[in-house]
Chain A
Amino acid sequence: MDLSFATAAGKILETTAFTALTLDHVVMLVISCVLLYLAIWKKFEPLLLLPIGFGCLVANIPMSLMASTDAGGLLNFFYQGVKHEVLPPLIFLGVGALTDFGPLLANPSTLLLGAAAQVGVYTTLIGAVALGFDLKEASAIGIIGGADGPTSIFLATKLAPHLLAPIAVAAYSYMSLVPLIQPPIMRWLTTQKERKIKMAQLKPISPTVKIIFPIGVTIVCCLMLPGVTPLLGMLMLGNLFRESGVTARLHETAETHLINIVTILLALAVGSSMTAESFLKLETIKIIILGLLAFSFATAGGVVFGKIMCKMSGGKVNPLIGSAGVSAVPMAARVSQKVGAEEDHTNFLLMHAMGPNVAGVIGSAVAAGVFLSLFGDAGPEAHTAINTVTQALTAP
């Protein structure tokens, strides 16, 4: 084989990625570096933003075959776990193993705060439709307000896979910004007197109740909304590992090694879906704005319902715990504690806020289940029913 120096050098230059590098790739490389900066130096949700940022980085190196769409590539292989809805439920298994439902069981009314915070999901749904998204896309965008990354990814994969990357990035970015987004809204909607309310100590819960609870939730919720079984079922299985007391090894694996491994796979896969073609669109900017709207309305919904519960209970409920209904465990509960402690440093709201916080996880999963029932593969009949109702409403 005749290979002169000039031919060899030319051949090597031709095979470098520089020859295929476009401005779009450069923009995406800058975005990935911003995500890495936020993760490493600003400590914004680093466990997720770092692998997402790095996945985005390698996916946007031309000819690397690392994008989620590059069949046969490494990250395409990881992406199958997202596409086939394997990884988000496994994350929920780990979350269930980490979660103590005790505060929720001790004060079950706080489940309503988890429901009220879903207002953000539906406000955003309407906003997204107004901005030109169809109902399936708007539902996938709206669930960002549930402040639950795996649920957002799960629903986006089912209803709007082409919007997965911006939805996942918006969801995780805003989750990391919860300590900045929530406090001003919480202070704005509550009075100083309300923020100072001290709540009664939670009563202890029987271990048997803690064991029966995940089984009961699975039966009740999954019978009503079968589409959400992969998420809710895994969440409750993880919790059953924890509470049953007979599967210590499985519990330990689920809450440590498994969730860590799956987080790496999921975040890299999401990052690899952030290609220039899928991300550099006007829709991405709209989704980022709608995501902020979703978080703000979700926080406001929880706090307003907290105020209603405060009035109805004769001042026994501190409305600040309502903001924790947005899921984002345990960050949102910590924010409730922090804002409460600013008014009175002897006020400990953390355990009270954990109730609505874990209720938010169930609430956002149920919200996703409702969307799947309406717009998923099994939902055309429900969609027809909605159209009938809408026509009845618009009829003269």
Chain B
Amino acid sequence: MSDILLTSITVSIIAISVIFLVLTILIYFIRALVYLLPYEEPSKPAPRAQPAAVPLSQVDEHIPVIGAVMASYLGPSADKLQIVDIQPR
């Protein structure tokens, strides 16, 4: 076997050993990281407070006001426009 071929085999063995060594060091580095900094579930945001229901008497007061505003915007007189319900979101 020629010298250069033997050298190439030696280079290959050395190089593949170095690659395995470097990547094995990385494996232990990652394992240490994952062990020291485990994944934690992100805390769930607190449920948003539901808006308080508007008292019925207040809704009743709003209906004619909204009706008047919409009627003036749309054109027809207030008695042709009928708001039947208001649902608080």
Residues from chain A with a CB closer than 8 A to the CB of B5 are 126, 129-130
Q: Are A118 and B4 in touch, CB under 8 angstroms?
A: no
Is B63 engaged at the interface, CB distance under 8 Å to the other chain?
Answer: no
Q: Are B7 and A390 in touch, CB under 8 angstroms?
A: yes
B35: nearest chain-A partner, CB-CB: A209
Residues from chain B with a CB closer than 8 A to the CB of A244 are none
Of the candidates A129, A205, A370, the one whose C-beta lies within 8 Å of that of B15 is A370
Q: Which of A125-166 contact B (CB under 8 A)?
A: 125-126, 129-130, 134-135, 138-139
Contact with A along B34-58 (1 / 0, CB 8 A): 1001111000000000000000000
A359: nearest chain-B partner, CB-CB: B23
Is B25 engaged at the interface, CB distance under 8 Å to the other chain?
Answer: yes
Residues from chain B with a CB closer than 8 A to the CB of A105 are 30, 33-34
Interface size on B, residues (CB 8 A): 31
Residues from chain A with a CB closer than 8 A to the CB of B65 are none
Q: Which of A208-238 contact B (CB under 8 A)?
A: 208-209, 212-213, 216-217, 220-221, 224-225
Tell me the interface secondary structure of chain A in the complex.
Answer: helix
A39 to B10 alpha-carbon distance, docked (Å): 39
Q: Are A122 and B16 in touch, CB under 8 angstroms?
A: yes
Residues from chain B with a CB closer than 8 A to the CB of A7 are none
Q: Are A112 and B39 in touch, CB under 8 angstroms?
A: no
Is A241 engaged at the interface, CB distance under 8 Å to the other chain?
Answer: no
Q: How many of chain A's residues touch chain B, expressed as a range?
A: 35 or more
A272 to B22 alpha-carbon distance, docked (Å): 36
A359 to B19 alpha-carbon distance, docked (Å): 11
* A210 → B minimal CB distance (Å): 9
Of the candidates A118, A125, A209, A224, the one whose C-beta lies within 8 Å of that of B11 is A125
B36: nearest chain-A partner, CB-CB: A209
Residues from chain B with a CB closer than 8 A to the CB of A212 are 33, 37
Q: Are A138 and B8 in touch, CB under 8 angstroms?
A: yes
Is B18 engaged at the interface, CB distance under 8 Å to the other chain?
Answer: yes
Q: Are A206 and B39 in touch, CB under 8 angstroms?
A: yes
* A388 → B minimal CB distance (Å): 10
A118 to B13 alpha-carbon distance, docked (Å): 11
Residues from chain B with a CB closer than 8 A to the CB of A366 are 18-19, 22-23
* B2 → A minimal CB distance (Å): 8
Give B residues with C-beta under 8 Å from A: 3-12, 14-16, 18-20, 22-27, 29-31, 33-34, 37-40
8 contacts between A and B (CB under 8 A): A111-B27, A115-B16, A121-B15, A206-B39, A209-B30, A213-B30, A386-B7, A390-B7
